[in-house]
Structures are given as C-alpha cells and as structure tokens.
Structure 1
Amino acid sequence: MKADDAAASPVTHCGFIAIVGRPNVGKSTLMNRLIGQKVSITSAKAQTTRHRIHGVFTRDAHQFVFVDTPGFQTKHRNALNRVMNRAVTQALADVDVILFVIEAGRLTEADEEVIALLPKDRPVLLLLNKTDKTGDRAKLLPFVERIAKLHDFHAIMPVSAQRGDGLDALLKVAGELLPEGQAMFDVDDFTDRSERFLAAEYIREKLFRQLGDELPYGLAVEIERFEAEGALRRIAACVIVSREAHKGIVIGQGGEVLKSVGSAARSDMEKVFGSKVFLELHVKVRSGWADDERALKSLGFEP
C-alpha cells in the first residue's frame, strides 16, 4: 500500500521496530499516528489487534518498519490466543528495536509479564503513553524510578499516541538505533499488507465499535471475493461467529447493525484505497473456529 507523501532523501538506515505491550495500552493508535495512515484497527475492546502488522514510514534517510503486535494475553489459552502470543514472541526475536508501551502512571501484573519477555540483547524504549491524561508530569517521577528498575531500558519517553505528543523525539531516538541498510520498501509504501487484508480489518473494527461489550469474542471476518476494477473495488465479506445466538447480535434488528457496520467500513476503505467500494456483508456460524488452528490458518493467521 502507498502513502500520500514520498520521502526525498535516499534511505541509508532501515530496520524493524516492534511495538509491544499488554492489551489496550494504545499500540495500534501509536503505529497509525507514527506512519500517518490507518493500518492497525483500534477499539476499546481488548485484543482488537490479532495479527502482526507492518507499518512503514520513511523520513530523513531512515525507513522505519513498525511491527504492531497483539496485546500479550496471559489469561485465555485457546488456539487464537496461542497464535497471537506467538506473533508477539516472534516479533521480539526478529526486530532491531523494541517499543514497550504502558499507560503512564499505571503498572499492572500483565505489564510486568511482558517486561519479563523483553530481550536483553537489543534496545528497548519504554513509552509512557496517555501522558495527556496524567496532569502534572512531575508526579510520574516515582513511577518512572520504579519501572526503570525492572529492565535496562535504552530510554524512557513520555508520549501521547492519541495527540501525537512526543513522537518526533521518539522517531529521532529510534532512528539513531536503526542499522545501516537500504530501504526494504518503496519510500511511499505505508504497509506490506494487501487491500484485501485491510478490508477485513476495517469491517472487524466497525463491529467492535458498533457492538462494544455485546460483541462476541469468537468473531472473525473472511473476505470471500475481492475484485479491483480500476477505481472500483467489489468486495464480498463474511462475518464468522461461533454460536447461532451471536448471529442475531451481529445482524441487529432489521439488519441495522450490519448495515451500519458496512457503511462505516466502506467509508474507511474508500479513503485508504482511493476508490469507490461496493461492499456485501453476511454472517455465518462456524462453531469452534477460535480453537482450531487449521481454521485460523485459513483466516490468515500466521502459524
């Protein structure tokens, strides 16, 4: 996928940067803000991000390949969560730099479990996110001193993914840590994911946002048909639920929920794809899909 603006300078430093943390600390919002495009979907629901997603940003002879990861899950142990946790641990093993994201002023047991996974042989930047909600930053000093004892962080940086605060400083520090090398992507690329993948993600995001706590966790989206005809995209997608009772929740009375989801998802697609989109949605019951690794692979999850 292409970005709106291309960088003029030739790339001399390029590398992978993993964004990790427990669920709901703002990892996907951070990546979208850093690259200036909506690649990772966001919602208030835990485990919105299920795949390892690459976002690409090129600036000042540096190409940053950000790897958004699922929130590391310590409670649920079905196949879906095992696959997502493998995506996190694999990302930690494969990247050059790690951004560990927590909420400023809040350290949970789940945060500490992620800290225990952080490798000792590569730089980790600790990002204190949501600093716009903390008030007096001086009050964060005891918190920073406490968490600094848990890992040898390369730097500890306050940021606000929502507002964009502190991100220029973050890019400067991260850029200094990237290895020398040529660009891995065209300078105007913003992700290595296909339009087909993004279409499924946008639909799933709108379901999360529309249904909130009503949304059944065992829900996925499968693209059954994706046809590109110049400035037109024809897409047929299936929303997969694990129980018959969930089907009615997703469809809504008179089909209103599914219609609203389709309209909002189509709007996002048209902005990112730069084309008109015709979208068809329907719902199918597929019992046990979230605990079936073969089913997960068919839905695009990495083994």
Structure 2
Amino acid sequence: MSADEQQPFVALEHSGLCAIIGRPNVGKSTLLNALLGEKVSIATRKPQTTRHRILGVLHQEQAQVVWVDTPGLHARGQRALNRELNRAALAALEEIDVVLLVTRALEWGEEDERALAALANVSAPVILAINQVDRVADKRQLLPHIERLSELREFAAVVPISALRRRNLDRLQEEVVTRLPPGPPLFPHDQITDRDVGFRLAELIREQLIVALGDELPYATSVQIQGFERGGGVSKIAALIWVEREAQKPIVIGERGKRLKKVGSLARREIEQLLGEQVHLELWVKVKAQWSDDARALRELGYGE
C-alpha cells in the first residue's frame, strides 16, 4: 500500500468538523471560500443563495478542518424548500466538533436570534465570527457591539473578521483548529469538498442565474445537469433550468434569448476555471410546476441529499 493510501489513517493533532451557522446573507459561503482559498460554495448578494449543506476540507500539516457550509436559518417562508433549507442547516449541528456562528458587524436581528437559539442545546464550543468589519467606518463602535453580543452566550471566542477582504482569518482558523480533537483525517489529502463535479457545475450556473435575474425570480429556479462529457481538452455540458410557471420561462430566456446567452457565457467562464479546459455549455429552460413547494420534486432535484 502506498503512502498516499495510508494517509487517511494517520492520526493528526486536530481533526474534525466545524459548522458555519448564521442567518441568510451574512457571508457564510464567502467565508468558506476564503478559508479554503478556492471556490466550493457559490455566493451572491441574495439571501438563501446556499441551498445545500456543503463540506469544504482544509488540509494542514497536523490538522484537517472540515468546514460545513449551511443554508441560512430563517423564520419566514413556509414552502417545502424553506423547510428543507432550515432542516439542512440544523442537521449540520449533529455530531459537530466546533460551531462558527457568523453575524454581520453592528447588526443583530430576529433571524440572528433564531440562529443563536438553534445552538441552545449544542455542547460543542461556539465561536462568534463578526463579519464585514471592513464596512464599519467608525471602528470604535465595534467594541460595545462585541460586548453586547458576548452577554448573549458564553462564546469560546469572539473574532471580528472580513471574509471578503480575508482579514483576521488566520486567527479565526487558529481558534477553530485548537478546539478540534485529535484523530485521523476525515477526507483524503487531495479532496477539497464532498460534492461531485456535477453538483458544482449546476451551482455555478445557478449562481449566474441569481445575478442575472435580480429581483425578478430570485428563488424560482433550479438547475440540473443532463449531460457531461470530457475529451480532447473540451467539456460538453448540457443543463436544464427549471422554473415553476410557464410565464417565468421568457423572463429567464430574455428578449431574443439574450439573458440566457449571458447566463451561459458567464457560467461557462466559471466552469472553465473549475475544470481547467474549454467548455461547450448548452442551456434549456423547462417548467416543473411549483417545484419549491413539492417534497417529491425537491428530492428529484437533489434537495435533502
């Protein structure tokens, strides 16, 4: 057996799972990507961009951190999709070693309270990461804000950060790593995420849909990869974009197909960066009636996996 094959069974000083929890749109996915130095979770300015629990694996010489990115916990929305997002986020707290609660600097509201309440019975250490401190003009406001939040729970540590600017992430990472137990790596040294390439392709397309559609159809679309072939330095990808109503198709396609072409062009660039080769991407738009409120349709589209 080779050294590479043996590596997963060699004990490390620190090895375990850290769940990244918080309300929608506080920068959890941006933080995950910054910690890994690679894009494994899509991120936009729209709340609830993340719809699945995604693992990102950070490899160090004597430590392995498995970051668990989660959908934002939210109180509003009773559709089956909303319930599934909350379920996925809460499921991430099971058998976890450390929890990272992410908030936005100088903000604290109902959905932050909901995220904190979800940790009431969690015995794992909870680290509070206060994100987007780079947007605070008067840094003197941060200390009283940190003091107020520190009274809400006995946090293992409180770390002000900027995920976008990658500020203070070394300290945040250190606070997490030192609280992980010793043990063998949970993933091979060359694996950076638990998600297969098909999932990542679909997410990159969905990311560009969210950006292109703005406020028109922020949550009514989902993407499925129908075909993926590689050969001769070119990847051929066919993907279906699902909407909920017939009237939504022309919104996604745009006048003379311009919007869909733009989505395809931008997504192709992202996919080429991921795959490291030329990409031929074909997109179609179809209707799956009320898929976001249909438990069976959600399973067919990969939710709950």
TM-score by length of 1: 0.94
1:98 CA drift (Å): 0.7
Q: In the TM superposition, what whole-angstrom CA distance separates every residue of 1:184-234 from its partner, at most 9, and x where no partner exists?
A: 222232111111000000000001111211224221001111223363322
1:3 aligns with none
1:163 CA drift (Å): 0.2
AA partner of residue 29 (structure 1): T
2:303 aligns with 301
C-alpha separation in 1, matches of 2:135 and 2:218: 30
1:284 aligns with 286
1:254 CA drift (Å): 1.0
State which of 199, 212, 221 in structure 1 corresponds to 2:223: 221
Q: In the TM superposition, what whole-angstrom CA distance separates every residue of 1:74-100 from its partner, at most 9, and x where no partner exists?
A: 110111111111111110123111110
2:55 aligns with 54
| Conserved 8 A contact 2:51-2:85 | yes
Partner of 2:215, secondary structure, is helix
AA partner of residue 37 (structure 2): G
2:6 aligns with none
Partner of 2:16, secondary structure, is strand
State which of 219, 225, 244 in structure 1 corresponds to 2:246: 244
| Paired residues for 1:16-35 under 5 Å | 16-35=17-36
| Conserved 8 A contact 1:57-1:189 | no
Q: In the TM superposition, what whole-angstrom CA distance separates every residue of 1:1-28 from its partner, at most 9, and x where no partner exists?
A: xxxxxxxx98442111111100110000
C-alpha separation in 2, matches of 1:297 and 1:136: 47
2:40 aligns with 39
| Conserved 8 A contact 2:210-2:218 | no
- Provide the aligned C-alpha RMSD in A: 1.5
State which of 204, 207, 211 in structure 2 corresponds to 1:205: 207
C-alpha separation in 2, matches of 1:289 and 1:83: 13
Q: In the TM superposition, what whole-angstrom CA distance separates every residue of 1:247-291 from its partner, at most 9, and x where no partner exists?
A: 111001111111111111111111112222211101001111111
1:166 aligns with 168
| Aligned length in residues | 295
| Conserved 8 A contact 2:226-2:238 | yes
Q: In the TM superposition, what whole-angstrom CA distance separates every residue of 1:42-89 from its partner, at most 9, and x where no partner exists?
A: 111111000000111112311111111001121101111111111111
- Range moving further from structure 2, 158-167 or 129-138: 129-138
**1:113–1:216 distance in 2 versus 1, CA, 3 Å:** closer
Question: Where in structure 1 do 4 or more consecutive aligned residues deviate above 4 Å?
Answer: none
1:73 aligns with 74
| Conserved 8 A contact 1:216-1:246 | no
1:145 aligns with 147
Runs of 5+ consecutive residues of structure 1 not aligned to the other structure: 1-8
State which of 253, 256, 260 in structure 2 corresponds to 1:254: 256
- Range moving further from structure 2, 26-35 or 52-61: 52-61
| Conserved 8 A contact 1:216-1:241 | no
| Paired residues for 1:263-274 under 5 Å | 263-274=265-276
C-alpha separation in 2, matches of 1:229 and 1:98: 42
1:116 aligns with 117
1:154 aligns with 156
Partner of 1:267, secondary structure, is helix
Partner of 2:40, secondary structure, is coil
C-alpha separation in 2, matches of 1:297 and 1:112: 30
C-alpha separation in 2, matches of 1:20 and 1:231: 39
2:99 aligns with 98
Percent of matched pairs sharing the same residue: 48
AA partner of residue 96 (structure 1): D
C-alpha separation in 2, matches of 1:231 and 1:20: 39
C-alpha separation in 2, matches of 1:301 and 1:180: 33
Runs of 5+ consecutive residues of structure 2 not aligned to the other structure: 1-9
State which of 215, 233, 236 in structure 1 corresponds to 2:235: 233
| Conserved 8 A contact 2:99-2:125 | yes
C-alpha separation in 2, matches of 1:29 and 1:17: 15
